[in-house]
Amino acid sequence: MTHDVKKHEDGMSTATATKAPHGDLSGGHHAPGRVGGGLFDPKQLIKSFPDAVKKLDPRVMIKSPVMFVVLIGSVVTTVLAVKNPGDWFGWAITVWLWLTTIFANLAEAVAEGRGKAQADTLRKAKTDTVARRLIGRNEERVPGTELRIGDLVVCEAGDIIPGDGDVVEGVASVDESAITGESAPVIRESGGDRCAVTGGTKVLSDRVVVKITTKPGETFIDRMINLVEGASRQKTPNEIALNILLASLTIVFLLAVVTLKPFAIYAGADKQTSMIVLTALLVCLIPTTIGALLSAIGIAGMDRLVQRNVLAMSGRAVEAAGDVSTLLLDKTGTITLGNRQASEFVPVKGTTEAELADAAQLSSLADETPEGRSIVVLAKEKYGLRERHQGELAHATWIEFTAQTRMSGVDVDGRQTRKGATGSVVAWVREQGGTVADDAETLTDRISQAGGTPLLVAVKDDKGARVLGVIHLKDVVKEGMRERFDELRRMGIRTVMITGDNPLTAKAIAEEAGVDDFLAEATPEDKMALIKREQAGGKLVAMTGDGTNDAPALAQADVGVAMNTGTSAAKEAGNMVDLDSNPTKLIEIVEIGKQLLITRGALTTFSIANDVAKYFAIIPAMFAVAYPSLDKLNIMGLASPESAILSAVIFNALIIIALVPLALKGVRYRPSSADSMLRRNLGIYGLGGLVAPFIGIKIIDLLLSLIPGIG
């Protein structure tokens, strides 16, 4: 960004946000209420068990067609076992079918339980407050629940902010630890992009007037509670499509199993194909593994974002992040460190460095931005100029920076000094009847091409108005950004840097950082147009923003990440909110989205590949009596038909509980092309899903054979 934009740090920003190394998406900043004990805490299992039992309600189970079939099968085998109480095999199958159903519910209950623990902590932050509502110039005390959109409330030091809103008057330090988990207070002030406040946070100093922007019960904390509890979670398009596929496979296997009965009667294997055996076969063949874990994978994906202090307003947004083709990234604070520092003073011909340094320092005394402070320090350290203070120049007239003039400076002792953007300073000099040195433009172009930001310094005294030289501001590219962009490129994602800098500076920074493209001197309309162009080409676009002028683009983007420090309009427009207000987190959000999609695909592959071993276990057990040649298919050498069928059912149940940690944590993501990722996952989860059941069923069979009457 050029000098026409001043950034205010709020004490929390990127400096306090922690970031895990690339590829490791399990760490990072934790939101309040984070459940301890790792991803698969045994205590969490026990605590979630009652919820898993409650989910046996058919009205709940029918939402997952695969597991609903397993529930019906469990009921059928229970009835048959009760009719024949002496049949140990029927009771064993029944018990393990019920366990299969409960294990599936347990996976979802554990995932939901982690969110409920976070919600409990958030509820503690949600307190009933008394608001000081403004009626004209008078105040009245009313319960926070009676506030409506548009009401003005007064908050002073020690007050709890009664509802979400925007500061319309004053500036205050606010404690947002209840929301973000950060102990460092933040500054909220009227106007600009840091005016939004959240209900339940505490004012630490000063006085502000807040305009309420949400209804009671619809505050940010209420939405957070609903999201982390999963109460508002809706199935995403991909999840719905996969559910339809799983339901179709279930119908196919159901028809196949139903036709086996008349075929068995014809072949004389009626006793070996009882209803209990056919039910066991059906449950083993339908994709129960992914059917059981599908919901848990989606919940855990959103939970991983919550652990990073990112709230996704819908699962659709998380999935979209995984399919993003274009990333729009702000330059300042995202790609670069953001605090530009003065690195050198470059005088024009006929001016000395000392004269330029003196004028630059003088014009920066009232400039409290990091850039302004760095100019004063550079003049003091490099040129030995004593740092002066505004108090020593009480008779001076200070010229404040504005977005319109894009200049600041001072008038003192009949001498006017100005510094600012090149075009603005040149225009000021000419308005004063002065001239601009021939080499001024050359110097500014050279600094811009080097990736720096040039600020012209000019004076008007008894010699007339003239340019003295250029201040070279450097904005340092963050360490490791080129490597991150290389990773994104390998993933097939195009990166576009958005900046208010001039095209020359933007090009230099873009080349140094390694982004694919850049948008210089960007306006809100330019951002919107760029997003629409990308989407018109069939691409999904992600971007970050914090200001009201970012709201249209955030709403248009497929993944719009609003900063928590930003305005209410930005947070309403985006489909994600970053509580840490760390723009670089957008890259991690994309990685988490891809991890969600990869996990779902990997476990689906594993689940379908699982079926092969069960064919070799159950089919010979059912038909080897009628067709002895089928015994050759018993390649695992299973002890008996009962042991073979029971081993397959037990493995089918245990593999669900064994894969719960993977569903919650997610498959490890490594940036690579789609082809190499597919080959890798087919090798691990396709081949693994093929081999693991052979080993698992054989081990269970060996254990069962030790029990008298089974082997």
Q: Please indicate if the annotation marks 407 as binding a ligand.
A: yes
Residue among 175, 330, 578, 580 flagged as catalytic: 330
Q: How far is CA 47 from the centre of its chain?
A: 28
Residue 21 structure tokens: 């190394």
Q: Please indicate if the annotation marks 546 as binding a ligand.
A: yes
Phi, psi of 375 (to 5 degrees): -65, -45
Q: Please indicate if the annotation marks 485 as binding a ligand.
A: no
Q: What is the dihedral of CA 588, 592, 597, 598, to 10 degrees?
A: 90
Which residues are CB-contacts of 262 (< 8 A; sequence separation ≥ 6)? none
Q: Distance (Å, rounded) from C-alpha 360 to C-alpha 410?
A: 10
Q: Distance (Å, rounded) from C-alpha 102 to C-alpha 467?
A: 79
Other Cβ atoms less than 10 A from the Cβ of 28: the count is 20
Q: Distance (Å, rounded) from C-alpha 602 to C-alpha 201?
A: 42
First and final C-alpha spacing in the chain: 76
Other Cβ atoms less than 10 A from the Cβ of 207: the count is 14
Q: Where on the phi/psi map is residue 230: left (φ > 0), alpha (ψ -120 to 50), or beta?
A: left
Report which DSSP code applies to 605: H
330 is catalytic: yes
Q: Distance (Å, rounded) from C-alpha 408 to C-alpha 376?
A: 14
Q: Are the CB atoms for 347 and 356 separated by under 8 Å?
A: yes
Q: Are the CB atoms for 598 and 626 separated by under 8 Å?
A: no
Q: Distance (Å, rounded) from C-alpha 100 to C-alpha 97?
A: 5
Report which DSSP code applies to 29: P
Q: Please indicate if the annotation marks 239 as binding a ligand.
A: no
Q: Please indicate if the annotation marks 229 as binding a ligand.
A: no
Q: Please indicate if the annotation marks 151 as binding a ligand.
A: no
Give one DSSP letter per residue of 262-274, joined into a string.
HHHHHHT-TGGG-
Residue in the structure block whose two tokens are 């050498």: 637
Q: Distance (Å, rounded) from C-alpha 633 to C-alpha 637?
A: 9
Residue in the structure block whose two tokens are 């505004």: 390
Phi, psi of 655 (to 5 degrees): -65, -30
Q: What is the dihedral of CA 442, 447, 453, 454, to 10 degrees?
A: -40
Task: Give the residue among 682, 672, 686, 480 at the shortest CA–CA distance from 591.
Answer: 672
Q: Please indicate if the annotation marks 166 as binding a ligand.
A: no
Q: Distance (Å, rounded) from C-alpha 459 to C-alpha 419?
A: 9
Task: Give the residue among 15, 636, 610 at the shortest CA–CA distance from 253.
Answer: 610
Burial of 711 (0-12, 13-18, 19+ CB in 10 A): middle
Q: Are the CB atoms for 580 and 563 separated by under 8 Å?
A: no
Partnered with residue 544 across adjacent β-strands are 561
C-alpha distances in angstroms, 651 versus 92, 254, 701?
Answer: 13, 20, 10
Q: Please indicate if the annotation marks 568 as binding a ligand.
A: no
Residue 633 structure tokens: 């298919």
C-alpha distances in angstroms, 567 versus 100, 124, 555, 562?
Answer: 48, 25, 14, 9
Q: Please indicate if the annotation marks 408 as binding a ligand.
A: yes
Residue 305 structure tokens: 């974002």
Feature table: binding site: 367, 371, 401-408, 419, 546, 550
What are the catalytic residues? Answer: 330
Feature table: binding site for ATP: 367, 371, 401-408, 419
